[in-house]
Structure 1
Amino acid sequence: MKIYKYTLIILLIVVSIPSEAQTIKPKQVKKEMKSVANWQIEHFRETYSGRKKPHHIAAWTNGALYVGMVKLAQMKGGKKYYKWLKSIGEEQKWKLHHRKYHADDHTIGQMYFELYRKYGEKYMIKPTIESFDYILENPSKEPITLDKYKHLERWTWCDALFMAPPVLAKLTKETGDKKYTKFMMKEFEATRNHLYDADEDLFYRDNSYIGKLDNKKKIFWSRGNGWVFGGLTLIMDEYEPGSKEYEYFKNIYLKMAKKLIEIQTPKGHWAMSLLNQDKYPTPETSGTSFFTFGLAWGINKGLLDKEVYQPHVEKAWNALVSYVTKDGMLGYVQPIGAAPGKAWADKTEVYGTGAFLAAGSEVYKMVKKK
């Protein structure tokens, strides 16, 4: 009877081991990535976030998807995904979206440069170069405040730091012309000065949230900070470590990374309002995916102590895959918005898929090294 009792206790302990203790295997990571990517490609032309029409192929939503899809394509056996991405570029005639100054409409340019690096065809990046040359020659004179969406020609909302700066960094890398970097650094600093909270090492989504409290806590939107954190890695990838540009972004990145592991929820995800876990207990996978991506990237680059940070990444990844349906849909992606809100197990969005794929690409490298 005692043997049975002890066996039962051991079984209960094993069953109660939290998800973060599960071993992450590279092959399984890749399998999860392909499952999510294949589901999204199959459902690419569908509607999301309660919209009546599908997202335009050049919209920021899909631009973020392509960032993650490129990272899957770059992995062994990714030819299928390169082919799909190239078909998107051809359909869009390699042009950015229609709003000349709007950062959201520049996002797809990241994909064009990565496809150019793969295929070497200059026509893939020519329209993007022309578009940014116009912007640099005719810079917007709008203020850096969003002011109820009156000013969208500059980076007045933190999401923009994922959308446009990586394209400008790639422009300098591929053309050798530092004018793009000079413009990008100036505009990034303007946004940072406006939206960065040095006490919390997090970014406000836009100026409408500065000074406001929710449940007596400052409002820092998870996905908004995910855009910033993920964007920092994309920018740093284009500069040499030790360069003034790299060190500028690394400084912000390290401060955010330290803060993020302090506020991760016990379940592994990050709350939709980063400092307000109690009020927003629902999982949210787009912000969590971007944080997972950024933290795993830092471990792989040697910027973050793996003994400290890797358990947080593993915990987050195991949480994320638990929200993927058997068909490959990533659930609990908050719909399009600008603030903490709601998410559901049976609802997704293309940018969530992109963030998940980006996260998977770095988690794969991390556990393969391990």
Structure 2
Amino acid sequence: MRIPPLAGRLGLLLLVVTLTAQAQKLPAKKDILAKMTLANAYFMASWPDPGKEIVTNKTRPSNIWTRSVYYEGLMALYGIDKKKPYYEYAVEWGEKHHWGLRSGVNTRNADDQCCGQTYIDLYLIDKKPERLHDIKASIDAMVKSDKVDDWNWVDALQMAMPVFAQLGVLENDPSYFEKMYQIYMYSKTKHGGNGLYNPKDGLWWRDKDFVPPYKEPNGKDCYWSRGNGWVVAALVRVLDIMPKDAPHREEYEKTYLEMMRALPTLQRADGFWNVSLHDPANFGGKELTGTALFTYGMAWGINHGLLDAKVYKPIIARAWNAMASESVHPNGFLGYVQGTGKEPKDGQPVTYDSKPDFEDYGLGCFLLAGTELYKLKK
């Protein structure tokens, strides 16, 4: 299928809405919450000790990015369903790691800094200085340096940008916003030669390995679903945190809206998105993480008046219903989660019963999507 230019997609978008509006409705709020509760209960029962190391091909501490994304989702769930065990589980996770970062306070690695999003959320609930110390020291060192090329893979935007935004608000210091913008813009316009973002398609290449002349088997550019999902999450989380008058807010909103215009026509008929957005034949099939992150971003846009509910509500209803009915097992395990990697072929096969190498970040994405949908139903 030929992918139309971004500017010419409005007609196709209206067609998508026409085809889906009658068939798809969001379930009741209690049913959305029930699916999240089930999936989260499965995970918490599987990991009763939040400080336990993660063992796959090697042993890793459990404050790495995969687990940190889960806690983003858990804190979102706690925001709408304030069950004490959720809060205690997150606090115990921070305490078991002494509120530290995987590689220490001198790290500039966004993956290592992702845990800081939850540390700061927990600090705002109970302002114990140890919760803030290490993540602030790490980000402060970056703010004071001249280096701006750290985020050379798009996942990094979601892992680190919200931390800069949180600290900018917490400290009432625009230097955090400014540094975040500088590093972000280097990723967008410099990395890989001319940047990792293609404004023509409204989508991002995952890193320099996938910029042209790299092509998918069908000759199209390689736009990885979850990679673009990470960018969507980064933008909405930053926009959600920053004040309305924060510097450079218009840039994030503009790019977010461009992505929102690009994604609807790429949705599969069953409600999911393929792992390869422009080549559905390259490891095509249902996949939860990218689908959940796009659903999260679209629901957030409706909730904040940036997207037309008549256009986007049928799209996210179809996506959520697909995930809820086809991914969530009766015991809460999530199927169709692509394992870690950076492109369509990684973490395969992706099936209903396949278990990814890490089963935490998929749940985090699912909880982020569900909580925004729950707010939408108010």
TM-score under structure 1 length normalisation:
0.87
| 1:272 counterpart SS class | coil
Separation in 1, partners of 2:143, 2:24: 50
Which of the residues 312, 327, 332 maps onto 2:331? 327
Which of the residues 215, 219, 223 maps onto 1:216? 219
Matched, 1:365 2:375: yes
Matched-pair identity in %? 33
The answer to whether the 8 Å contact 1:58/1:92 transfers is yes
Change (3 A) 1:136 1:244: closer
- Higher deviation after alignment, 53-62 or 31-40: 53-62
Partner of 2:84: 79
Matched, 1:188 2:188: no
Partner of 1:155: 151
Separation in 2, partners of 1:107, 1:319: 28
Which of the residues 252, 261, 280 maps onto 1:249? 252
| Structure 1 residues 1-56: Cα deviation after superposition (integer angstroms, max 9, x where no partner) | xxxxxxxxxxxxxxxx99952551100100111111111112237998x9245652
Partner of 1:290: 293
Separation in 1, partners of 2:278, 2:143: 38
Matched, 1:133 2:140: yes
Which of the residues 95, 103, 109 maps onto 1:102? 109
Change (3 A) 1:326 1:337: same
Change (3 A) 1:79 1:244: same
The answer to whether the 8 Å contact 1:241/1:247 transfers is no
The answer to whether the 8 Å contact 2:53/2:62 transfers is no
Q: Tell me how far 1:136 sits from its aligned partner.
A: 2.6
Structural mapping, 1:116-127, within 5 Å:
116-127=123-134
- Higher deviation after alignment, 84-93 or 71-80: 71-80
| Structure 1 residues 116-169: Cα deviation after superposition (integer angstroms, max 9, x where no partner) | 11122232112211122222334447xx4xxxxxxxxx0000000001111011
| Structure 1 residues 239-279: Cα deviation after superposition (integer angstroms, max 9, x where no partner) | 22354432111001000011111211111011100111233
The answer to whether the 8 Å contact 2:276/2:284 transfers is no
Q: Tell me how far 1:296 sits from its aligned partner.
A: 0.4
TM-score under structure 2 length normalisation:
0.85
| 1:279 counterpart SS class | coil
Change (3 A) 1:199 1:183: same
Matching residue's letter, 1:357: L
Q: Tell me how far 1:179 sits from its aligned partner.
A: 1.5
Structural mapping, 1:38-77, within 5 Å:
38-44=41-47, 51-53=56-58, 55-77=60-82
Larger radius of gyration: 1
The answer to whether the 8 Å contact 2:178/2:247 transfers is no
Matching residue's letter, 2:29: P
Matching residue's letter, 1:185: Y
Change (3 A) 1:247 1:18: closer
Matched, 1:179 2:179: no
Matching residue's letter, 2:266: I
Which of the residues 9, 19, 38 maps onto 1:35? 38
| Structure 1 residues 151-199: Cα deviation after superposition (integer angstroms, max 9, x where no partner) | xxx0000000001111011011101122211111100011011100111
Change (3 A) 1:175 1:82: same
Separation in 1, partners of 2:92, 2:304: 32
| 1:218 counterpart SS class | coil
Q: Tell me how far 1:217 sits from its aligned partner.
A: 1.3
The answer to whether the 8 Å contact 1:20/1:316 transfers is no
Separation in 1, partners of 2:184, 2:282: 32
Partner of 1:3: none
Return 5+ residue gaps in structure 1 as ranges: 1-16, 145-153
Partner of 1:234: 237
Return 5+ residue gaps in structure 2 as ranges: 1-19, 190-194
Change (3 A) 1:120 1:19: farther
Matching residue's letter, 1:195: L
The answer to whether the 8 Å contact 1:73/1:80 transfers is no
The answer to whether the 8 Å contact 2:288/2:337 transfers is yes
Separation in 2, partners of 1:92, 1:47: 11
Q: Tell me how far 1:75 sits from its aligned partner.
A: 1.4
- Higher deviation after alignment, 85-94 or 55-64: 55-64
Separation in 2, partners of 1:284, 1:67: 20
